[in-house]
Structure 1
Amino acid sequence: MRETFGPEYVRPAQIECPDCSCCSRDLCVRGRSSLRRCEGHTSDEAQRTVHGCPCSAETTKDTAAWRLAAVRVVRMAREQRLPEHAEALLTALVEVRPPGGEPLPNVVVQQFAALKSRRLAEHVDGVPAASELGRLYLRARHDTWTATDVQVVDVDVKARTAKVECPAWKHGLVTVLLDQLLGESGLELDGLSGQWVTVDANLEARTEDLVLVGFRRTTPTVPQWMRIGADGDE
């Protein structure tokens, strides 16, 4: 009898992610660069399993979710400050953590809950503490923000990110969300690479803490020595 069907297809086993226990390596690669995170790139039945994967979480630096959260927190610090009592509590959670097992005084329980809902505070081993985003908020409050020109040098449409060069910053290239850049500046995707834009930046920040906000169109100021001979009249 002639077999009418080919060999049974067996899907190749996927390589497990070395950084989590819930996803494949390829899924986490996609999740890190996507605002949909890992759960947005898998089947409906698998979403519960990968929900909260640390590889794409906003608590993990350099993920797309972290970049979006950082922009949100910086805007909050600059434009919509926390009430003074909430900011004081957040500062206290950074400087002095309550001993393990000691509850917060009743008067600040609700304040802590409000900070936690904004993801500025968290429990670490059962102890109230400022989260990384909370610490970023406080740094943004005290950082000096400067308008500076940056140039788009690379656009990754698939990852929805862009690399910009910031001459005024000692560490050079910065990765930003492509949708933030386009939405704030009003520029089009076509011809974006090579464009100059003005941003507000905390130029004294450490490498992982630099945040660019307020993208807007600009014409860079060209130094006099670079203009010599360019127009044929000098």
Structure 2
Amino acid sequence: MDETFGPEYVRPAQPDCTRCGCCTAALCEKGRTSVMRCLGHVGDAFRETVASCPCSAESTKHTSAWMLAQVRVTRLAQELPIPEAAELLLRDLAGGKVVAEPGEPFPQLKVRGLAQLVHGMPAITPLGLTYLMAKDEVRAATAVRVVDVDKKTRTARVEVVAWRPDEPVTVLMDQIATDSGLDVDSLPGRWLTADANCRAENADGLVLTGYRNSAPLPAGWMGVDDGEDQ
């Protein structure tokens, strides 16, 4: 009896990512703009293969996972700081001190991504440096204007008045919506208040937390009209 079905459909192979060697280009494009990284967009059979993909890692600058990690560690430093002994160890590592026997505090740093082993020796991570900066820097409330949002990448561009109001920075759109309780569609053009380290040298070092509705702005202030919605 002849088969009544047509030829078997085989999905065309997708091109590999040229940067990592473990994912397709399409997967890395999605992973870079997802807090779930590449790992969150594959089935169980491929999780181990893509788990360490650098294209979407929180250690790779400007990925969504990296932006989320900066916020997480900053909030950790401000709201739930690590024990004093662990912080002292972290500061020793930041200062380049060789610590052959780090003791009990090291696992606390490692599990939070603040320290790691390099050639068998404890070393501070970039996130560890972010933590110390968040502990030491002055953070203050500042007016923030949402310039626009990109729903595809789940990011927003914002202007930070107390930093550089003419230099928009990219932040996580969902962070703004979650913090403020506002609908994403209402964000473009809206003025908010957020906490920031306004002495940051560049956009990579600027971390915004605690987005909330701002008090009404004076009429005419930076282009705000009497009837404009806040």
Shorter-chain TM-score range: 0.7 to 0.9
Residues 153-173 of structure 1 deviation map (CA, whole Å, 9 limit, x = unaligned):
111223222111223323711
Tell me if 1:193 matches 2:192: no
1:180 alignment partner in structure 2: 175
CA contact under 8 A between 1:149 and 1:196: conserved in structure 2? yes
- Quote how far apart the aligned CAs of 1:125 are: 2.8
Across the aligned residues of Structure 1 and Structure 2, the Cα RMSD in angstroms comes to: 2.4
Aligned counterpart in structure 2 of residue 114 of structure 1, from 108, 114, 128? 108
Query: C-alpha distance in 1, partners of 2:56/2:177?
Result: 23
Report the TM-score, using the length of structure 1 for normalisation. Answer: 0.85
Aligned residues: 223
CA contact under 8 A between 1:97 and 1:129: conserved in structure 2? no
2:197 alignment partner in structure 1: 202
- Quote how far apart the aligned CAs of 1:221 are: 4.2
Change (3 A) 1:7 1:117: same
Paired AA for residue 130 in structure 1: I
Query: C-alpha distance in 1, partners of 2:222/2:30?
Result: 45
1:132 alignment partner in structure 2: 126
1:67 alignment partner in structure 2: 67
Change (3 A) 1:224 1:151: closer
CA contact under 8 A between 2:196 and 2:209: conserved in structure 1? yes
Residues 23-64 of structure 1 deviation map (CA, whole Å, 9 limit, x = unaligned):
011101100111221021123322221112111111112111
Aligned counterpart in structure 1 of residue 143 of structure 2, from 149, 166, 183? 149
Query: C-alpha distance in 2, partners of 1:63/1:217?
Result: 27
1:89 alignment partner in structure 2: 89
Paired AA for residue 158 in structure 2: V
Paired AA for residue 201 in structure 1: A
Unaligned runs of 5+ in 1: none
Residues 120-158 of structure 1 deviation map (CA, whole Å, 9 limit, x = unaligned):
101123221011110000011111112111111111223
2:45 alignment partner in structure 1: 45
The percent identity for this pair of structures is 48
Paired AA for residue 188 in structure 1: D
